[in-house]
């Protein structure tokens, strides 16, 4: 149980275009979802915390107008990278916390974004 999926698993896009990444909790409801990015050989950096039905809370230094987050339901959150640039190329991972109150986060498999 507690499976989180992400789509797409990898995407290549041209500079200036937008890319949407979906994060779904498949067998549980998630009040809170988190979005991370991970550069090669580095740790996960929290980008934003997404609560269902409310605006996301962004970490310092993360542009909310560039990384649009929508959490419309208890099982789906989306991250849209707008006007992507090569420096946005990274591994984006989402995680979800069940509504049961557990601290545990379940991670999606990640999305590899390459901007050319």
Partner 1 sequence: GQQVMQIPQYQHVQEGEDFTTYCNSSTTLSNIQWYKQRPGGHPVFLIQLVKSGEVKKQKRLTFQFGEAKKNSSLHITATQTTDVGTYFCAGGGSQGNLIFGKGTKLSVKP
Binding mask 50-89 toward partner 1 (x if CB under 8 A, else -) reads -------x--x-----------------------------
Question: Is the CB of 67 or the CB of 106 nearer to partner 1?
Answer: 106
Parallel, antiparallel, or unpaired: how do β-strands 111-115 and 10-13 relate?
Answer: parallel
Query: What is the smallest separation between the CB atom of 6 and partner 1, expressed in angstroms?
Result: 9
Tokens, residue 70: 């929508």
Neighbouring-strand partners of residue 22: 7, 78
Question: Is the CB of 44 or the CB of 82 nearer to partner 1?
Answer: 44
Residues 53, 70: contact at Cβ < 8 Å? no
The Cα 91–Cα 10 span in angstroms is: 9
Instruction: Give the binding range for partner 1 (CB under 8 A) out of 21-29, 65-73, 76-84, 95-103.
Output: 95-103
The Cα 25–Cα 40 span in angstroms is: 25
- Judged by the rule CB under 8 A, the positions of this chain that interact with partner 1 are 32, 34, 36, 41-46, 49, 57, 60, 93, 95, 97, 103-110
């Amino acid at each position: 149980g507690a499976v989180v999926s992400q789509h797409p698993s990898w995407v290549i896009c041209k500079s200036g275009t937008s890319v949407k990444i979906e994060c779904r909790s498949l067998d549980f409801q998630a009040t809170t979802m988190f979005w991370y990015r991970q550069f090669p050989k580095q740790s996960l950096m929290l980008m934003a915390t997404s609560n269902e039905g409310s605006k996301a809370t962004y970490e310092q230094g993360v542009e909310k107008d560039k990384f649009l987050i929508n959490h419309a339901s208890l099982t789906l959150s989306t991250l849209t990278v707008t006007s992507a640039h090569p420096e946005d190329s990274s591994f984006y991972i989402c995680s979800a916390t069940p509504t049961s109150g557990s601290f545990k986060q379940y991670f999606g498999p990640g999305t590899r974004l390459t901007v050319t």
